[in-house]
C-alpha cells in the first residue's frame, strides 16, 4: 500500500471514469433468479471470446450467482435507471416484479436490456477485496438499438454525441408550439399584475421554460429554454394526475430516500393536488442557495455531482413549500405554479408566476392563483383535455 494512500481520494479519482451499467443474472440451484448490478463489466478477449466483471468478495448476490452453471450479462438501457436502482440493493426479493425470460442456457434475460451475453464461468480468481470473474461467451444478442445507461461521479446519465449541432427535442418543440397558443393570456397576466409569468414543459425530470412574459419588478434569473431539474418538493404541480410509479420516481429524486423525507414530500404533493397549485414562500438565504446551486450545475454541463448540490438545496425549500395562507395576513412569495392541461400526446406543462412583490396579502395571492387557474381552465376548454 502506498504510504499516503487515501481511500476517499482514490474512490473519487476512479469516479471520474465513466462506466456502463450491467446486471449479471443467473438462476440458482433452487430455481430462483439472482442478479447484481455491476459497473465493472468489460470485454477481455475475442479469441476465445471472454468477458469479465469484478464482484466484491463479500457480495451475497455473487455468492448465489456462483452456484449457477451459467450467467448472463444484461446491458441496461438509459431508461432503465429505476430497474437498476431496484436491483442494486441487497434485498432478498429484488427480482419481484422484474420481467425476464430464460436465455438459451437458462439465465435470465431482462426485458428492455440493450443486449445480453450468456456465459459459462471460465475462471474466478481473488484480487484484493474483489474477484475477477472471467466468462466464456456462449450466446449473445442485441435486443434494442437504444442508448445505454451510464454511471459517472455517482450519478446516472446517457451518452450525448460531441457534435456542435444540438439535436432538437421533438416534445419540446410541440410544447413550445402549445405555449404559443396561450401567449396573449400569459402576457396579459404578466402586464396586469406586473409579475413574471412563464410556461414550463416537463421533459423527463427537467422543467423547461418554453415561454416567458417578464413584466415583474424582479429580474427573471433564468432565460427562455432554461432546464431546471425536478427535485421534490419542487415539481409537485406537474404530478397532479401522475400514477403511483411516477410519484415514487419523483420521491426517489430527493437527496435522501428516508421514510421521513418521503412522508413529508407526499404530504406536500397531497396539498398541491387538493389545492390545484403550489406556492413557494420566499426566504432569501435558502432561495439564493438553491439558485446558486442551479447556476453552478448549468455551468458545469450538468455534472451529476453538481446535481447532488441542487438536490440538497431543493430539499431545504420543503418548509417554504405550500404554506397555509391566513386571511388578512401578508406573505413573501417566490413563485406560484399551476398545472396547464395539455393534449395527451404533449408533455406535462405548467404555468409559473415569479417576480412577485414582497409582503403580499392573502387576497392578492389568491387573485394571482385565480388568474393562473383561469388560463389553465381556458386551455382545458379549448383543447378538451385532462385537467
Ligand X SMILES: Cc1cc2nc3c(=O)[nH]c(=O)nc-3n(C[C@H](O)[C@H](O)[C@H](O)COP(=O)(O)O)c2cc1C
Binding stretches for ligand X (CB under 6 A): 21, 36-40, 54-56, 59-61, 88, 90, 151
For residue 264, the SS3 value is helix
Q: Minimum distance between the CB of residue 22 and ligand X, rounded to whole angstroms?
A: 9
Q: Which is nearer to ligand X, 55 or 135 (CB)?
A: 55
Least distance between ligand X and beta carbon 307 (Å) = 16
- Give whichever of 154 and 194 is closer to ligand X, judged by the CB atom: 154
Distance between CA atoms of 365 and 381, rounded to whole angstroms?
24
The whole-angstrom separation of Cα 206 and Cα 200 is 9
Residue whose CB is less far from ligand X, 38 or 207: 38
The CB-of-190 to ligand X minimum distance in angstroms stands at 45
Query: In terms of Cα–Cα distance, which of 292, 165, 137, 282 is closest to 216?
Result: 282
Give the shortest CB-113-to-ligand X separation in angstroms: 15
Paired with 197 in beta bridges are 213, 353
- Residues 83 and 86: their CA atoms lie apart, in Å, by 5
- 15 vs 276, beta carbon nearer ligand X: 15
CB of 58 to ligand X, least distance (A): 7
Minimum distance of ligand X from residue 89's CB (angstroms):
6
Q: How near is the Cβ of 349 to ligand X at its closest, in Å?
A: 33
Cβ-closest position to ligand X:
61
Burial class (CB in 10 A: 0-12, 13-18, 19+), 168: exposed
At CA 152, angle to CA 297 and CA 260, rounded to 5?
A: 70
How far apart, in whole angstroms, are the C-alpha atoms of residue 169 and residue 368? 32
Give the nearer residue to ligand X in terms of CB position, either 95 or 151: 151
CA 338/CA 185 separation, integer angstroms: 14
Of the two residues 39 and 235, which places its CB atom closer to ligand X in the complex? 39
**At which residue does the C-alpha cell 438545496 appear?**
313
Residue number, 150 or 237, with CB nearest to ligand X: 150
Least distance CB 64 / ligand X (angstroms)? 8
Burial of residue 78 (CB within 10 Å: 0-12, 13-18, 19+) is middle
**3-class DSSP state for residue 333?**
strand
Task: Name the residue nearer to ligand X (CB basis): 76 or 349.
Answer: 76
Cα 282–288–290 angle (5° rounding)? 95
Report whether 333 contacts 281 (CB < 8 A): yes
Amino acid at each position: 500500500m502506498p504510504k499516503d494512500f487515501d481511500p476517499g481520494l482514490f474512490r473519487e479519482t476512479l469516479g471520474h471514469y465513466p462506466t456502463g451499467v450491467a446486471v449479471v443474472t443467473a438462476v440458482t440451484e433452487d430455481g430462483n433468479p439472482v442478479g447484481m448490478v455491476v459497473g465493472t463489466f468489460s470485454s477481455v478477449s475475442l479469441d476465445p471470446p471472454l468477458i469479465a466483471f469484478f464482484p466484491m468478495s463479500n457480495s451475497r448476490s455473487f455468492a448465489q450467482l456462483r452456484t449457477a452453471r451459467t450467467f448472463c450479462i444484461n446491458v441496461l438501457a438509459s431508461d432503465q435507471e429505476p430497474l437498476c436502482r431496484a436491483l442494486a440493493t441487497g434485498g432478498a426479493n429484488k427480482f419481484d416484479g422484474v420481467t425476464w425470460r430464460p436465455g438459451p442456457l437458462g439465465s435470465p434475460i431482462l426485458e428492455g436490456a440493450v443486449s445480453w451475453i450468456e456465459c459459462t464461468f471460465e475462471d474466478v480468481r481473488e484480487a484484493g477485496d474483489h474477484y475477477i470473474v472471467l466468462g466464456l461467451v456462449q450466446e449473445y444478442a442485441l435486443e434494442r438499438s437504444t442508448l445505454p445507461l451510464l454511471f459517472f461521479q455517482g450519478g446516472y446519465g446517457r451518452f450525448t454525441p460531441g457534435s456542435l449541432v444540438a439535436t432538437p427535442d421533438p416534445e419540446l418543440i410541440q410544447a413550445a408550439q402549445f405555449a404559443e397558443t396561450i401567449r396573449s393570456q400569459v402576457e396579459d397576466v404578466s402586464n396586469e399584475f406586473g409579475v413574471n409569468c412563464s410556461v414550463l414543459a416537463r421533459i423527463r425530470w427537467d422543467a423547461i421554460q418554453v415561454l416567458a412574459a417578464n413584466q415583474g419588478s424582479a429580474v427573471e434569473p433564468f432565460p427562455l429554454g432554461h432546464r431546471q431539474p425536478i427535485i421534490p418538493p419542487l415539481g409537485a404541480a406537474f404530478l397532479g394526475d401522475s400514477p403511483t410509479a411516477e410519484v415514487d420516481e419523483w420521491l426517489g429524486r430527493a437527496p435522501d430516500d428516508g421514510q421521513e423525507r418521503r412522508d413529508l414530500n407526499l404530504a406536500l404533493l397531497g396539498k398541491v393536488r387538493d389545492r390545484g397549485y403550489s406556492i413557494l414562500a420566499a426566504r432569501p438565504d435558502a432561495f439564493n442557495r438553491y439558485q446558486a446551486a442551479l447556476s453552478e450545475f448549468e455551468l458545469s454541463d450538468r455534472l451529476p455531482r453538481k446535481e447532488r448540490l441542487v438536490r440538497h438545496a431543493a430539499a431545504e425549500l420543503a418548509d417554504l413549500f405550500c404554506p397555509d395562507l391566513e386571511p388578512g395576513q401578508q406573505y413573501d412569495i417566490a413563485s406560484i405554479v399551476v398545472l396547464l392541461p395539455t393534449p395527451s400526446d404533449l408533455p406535462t406543462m405548467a404555468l409559473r408566476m415569479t417576480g412577485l412583490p414582497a409582503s403580499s396579502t392573502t387576497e392578492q395571492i389568491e387573485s394571482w392563483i385565480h388568474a393562473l387557474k383561469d388560463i389553465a381552465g381556458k386551455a382545458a376548454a379549448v383543447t378538451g383535455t385532462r385537467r
